[in-house]
Amino acid sequence: MSGWMALDSAMKGNERKTVSRATLRRVVKFAGPHRRKLIVFVILSTLGAVITVATPVLAGRVVDAIVNDGSVRTVVTLAMIIALLAVVDAVNGVVERKQSAEIGEGLILDLRQTVFNHVQQMPLAFFTRTRTGALVSRLNSDVIGAQQAFTWTLSSVVSNAIALALTLGVMLNYSWQITALALAMLPLFVIPARRFGRKIAGLEREAANHNSAMTTQMTERFSAPGATLVKLFGRPAVEAAEFGERASRVRDIGVKTAMAQWIFLSALGLASALALALVYGLGGYFALQGGLEAGTVVTMALLLTRLYGPLTGLASARVDVMAAMVSFERVFEVLDVKPLITQKPDPVEVPEGPVALEFDDVRFAYPSADKVSLASLEEVAVLDTRGGEEVLKGVTFRVEPGQVVALVGSSGAGKSTIAALAPRLYDVDEGAIRLAGIDVRDLSFKSLRETLGMVTQDGHLFHDTIKGNLLFARPDATDERIWECLRQARLLDLIEGLPDQLDTMIGERGYRLSGGERQRLTIARLLLARPRVVILDEATAHLDSTSEAAVQAALATALAGRTALVIAHRLSTIRNADLILVIEDGRVAERGTHEVLLARRGRYAELYETQFAPEANQLS
């Protein structure tokens, strides 16, 4: 075991790490709830170290009792004490392991919950910039690495320090000459660890890179969109060859690593055997000369096997601690990204009754990366500093209760940004957005979510059942209410015809459903939530005419009696709107009904002629 520890520590030792005192203080504070268990854990580790040293001493005394014609009672008594210590050590090991598991798993739970809850508070910009895999790694690899600081590393340092102090004390008491020679052979133990550690570390880094590349390739190719793209444009033979080449390299590295580890452990075994031979030879000489007892030679030999492990462990303890602390730093790095959107300490609720949506001189610029992201999560050397250019430049309008207002305009004019600001996916820089006359920044998150619902263009769904996806909007909804919403969304016949009906799994992002079916299911989810204000961000985009007709019928039900802001994509939505706003360059360029705007022959008429008139001809 000590050989593996030496090799592991040597591999870690190739990376120089420094950890600030502030990080250490945060770690101590974070470990506060586990203080009592940590104390018990240290005590148990200390007891285990004492037993480890006591057993060789007793074994030596047994030999002395036998050689010196001691009484049977003495030999039996010592043997019984050794047996009792073995039992105590076994029980202590079980209890220590339980404490270690409870501390480690408890810390993992605390860290994961803290990071998960914190990440959920991040603005949408954080997720648009962050690589999901890098973020998930913080919740897995780094959290587990941090946990090791309180289990493996702490136990190793405590037990090794006590065992080393006791072992050296006993060995020096018996023979300082043999102890000095044993310590002189320590380089034969440590130098191979460093040399082979560097070699194996390099191999494992290369293997990790290849494994990461294979994981990325599998993740991208095995998702529904990725698999579709590969089948349409990919070259299966080339893909297989590329994957096979990486997998073969990992296999070759695995063989080299295994051989290097075996040679290393064999060298360490040889060094230990030579040191043991030294003890027996020199100790035997002293014993024959009358300077040592035979039992002392046995004790020294047994203690020697317990000497090199603690020495190497303590020599690399700083490296082990730094490795664990760096994991803490990476976790704290995520926790230190401040949420841009927060709830006020004393939020208010949206009053009952009809709700108007109002934009009052709203100005907005997307935040720069340094405010919402981390270079390590984007996997770039330096964050993009661009940002701060205004996207909305004084947008003002009001959607009266029960009214449908449509937004039209060129791509990039700011329509989707307007839609994202109302539910506080972002916060305005200047001006205000109000629901029922209350600034949305003064509302509680719960009241805001219950009042305002949104259907986006992609209609995202989870890899869950139909019922599970719908209950995400209202967990307390009854099956009767769910079926009613499916009927209103024009999905009743489809769901009733499925073998598992509401319990049908719809796959990742709902890819087992058609585009129109997915969109209607998101509308059913909106209907189940029963918001008083609805925002539709091009909810019928990219649908064929049949799917569009079904979705439009579902939308008509969803919008009935509700305050609605619609980013228009289809002609029918525009013509039926109570008010149309033409958004250009972050401003409201024109406003009016369909007929009024056409009569003005302005920007709306231009858009209508170039984009919507062909649709009108097709509909007529």
Same domain, 58 and 95: yes
Q: Which tokens sit at 485? A: 């919403």
- Nearest-CA neighbor of 207 among 242, 169, 236, 249? 249
Same domain, 313 and 445: no
State the burial class of residue 180 (Cβ atoms within 10 Å of its Cβ: 0-12, 13-18, 19+): exposed
Q: Show the CA angle centred on residue 420, arms to residues 505 and 402, nearest 5°.
A: 90
Tell me which of 105-119, 271-285, 542-556, 568-582 is least confident.
542-556
Instruction: Give residue-wise pLDDT tens across range 10-59.
Output: 444 444 445 567 777 877 777 778 888 888 888 888 888 788 888 888 88
Q: What is the pLDDT of residue 87?
A: 92
Tell me which of 170-179, 269-278, 559-568 is least confident.
269-278
| Any domain includes 324 | yes
| Any domain includes 145 | yes
Same domain, 102 and 174: yes
| Any domain includes 280 | no
DSSP state of 57: H
Q: What is the pLDDT of residue 201?
A: 59
Arithmetic mean of pLDDT, 375-404: 74
Q: What is the pLDDT of residue 13?
A: 46
DSSP string of 577-598, one letter each residue? -SEEEEEETTEEEEEE-HHHHH
Same domain, 157 and 56: yes
| Any domain includes 202 | no
Chain CA centroid to CA 130, Å: 12
Same domain, 302 and 370: no
- Which residue would you say has higher pLDDT here, 500 or 194? 500
Q: Is the pLDDT of residue 289 over 60?
A: yes
Q: What is the pLDDT of residue 451?
A: 87
| Any domain includes 528 | no
* 154 in Cβ contact with 38 (< 8 Å): yes
Taking the C-alpha atoms of residue 323 and residue 156, their distance in angstroms, rounded to an integer, is 14
What is the overall mean pLDDT for the chain? Answer: 76
- Which residue would you say has higher pLDDT here, 86 or 514? 86
pTM above 0.75, yes or no: no
Same domain, 64 and 155: yes
| Any domain includes 33 | yes
| Any domain includes 175 | yes
Q: What is the total count of domains within the chain? A: 2
Q: What is the pLDDT of residue 91?
A: 92
Q: What is the pLDDT of residue 1?
A: 47
Which of left, alpha, beta for 475 (phi over 0: left; psi -120 to 50: alpha)? alpha
State the Cα torsion 331-333-336-338 to the nearest 10°.
Answer: -100
Q: What is the pLDDT of residue 103?
A: 81
pLDDT range class, residue 69, cuts 50, 70, 90: low
Instruction: Give residue-wise pLDDT tens across range 222-248.
Output: 666 666 666 656 666 777 787 788 888
Taking the C-alpha atoms of residue 42 and residue 51, their distance in angstroms, rounded to an integer, is 14
Q: Give the CATH number for residue 298.
A: 1.20.1560.10
Tell me which of 45-54, 148-157, 411-420 is least confident.
148-157
Q: Which tokens sit at 443? A: 């509302």
- Nearest-CA neighbor of 461 among 527, 416, 505? 505
Same domain, 297 and 428: no
Q: Is the pLDDT of residue 397 over 80?
A: yes
Taking the C-alpha atoms of residue 417 and residue 425, their distance in angstroms, rounded to an integer, is 9
Q: Give the CATH number for residue 450.
A: 3.40.50.300
| 289 C-beta neighbours (distance < 10 Å), count | 8
Q: Is the pLDDT of residue 79 over 80?
A: yes
Instruction: Give residue-wise pLDDT tens across range 427-446.
Output: 888 899 998 888 989 988 88
Same domain, 328 and 362: no
* 294 in Cβ contact with 279 (< 8 Å): no
* 335 in Cβ contact with 138 (< 8 Å): no
Taking the C-alpha atoms of residue 548 and residue 462, their distance in angstroms, rounded to an integer, is 22
Those residues whose C-beta lies under 8 Å from the C-beta of residue 144, and which sit 6 or more positions away, are: 108, 327
Q: Are strands 390-399 and 533-537 parallel, antiparallel or unpaired?
A: unpaired
Taking the C-alpha atoms of residue 167 and residue 1, their distance in angstroms, rounded to an integer, is 18
pLDDT range class, residue 619, cuts 50, 70, 90: very low
Domain that holds residue 123: 2-188+289-335
Same domain, 329 and 363: no
Residue type, 176: W
Say what angle helices 186-222 and 176-184 make with each other, to 10 degrees. 40
| Any domain includes 240 | no
Arithmetic mean of pLDDT, 476-482: 82
Q: Which tokens sit at 619? A: 């509909």
Q: What is the pLDDT of residue 16?
A: 46
Instruction: Give residue-wise pLDDT tens across range 542-599.
Output: 555 555 666 666 667 667 778 888 887 665 567 778 888 888 888 888 888 888 888 8
Q: Which tokens sit at 404? A: 């449908």
Same domain, 408 and 328: no
Same domain, 158 and 42: yes
Same domain, 395 and 450: yes
Element (H, E) at 399: strand 390-399
Chain CA centroid to CA 377, Å: 11
State the burial class of residue 90 (Cβ atoms within 10 Å of its Cβ: 0-12, 13-18, 19+): exposed
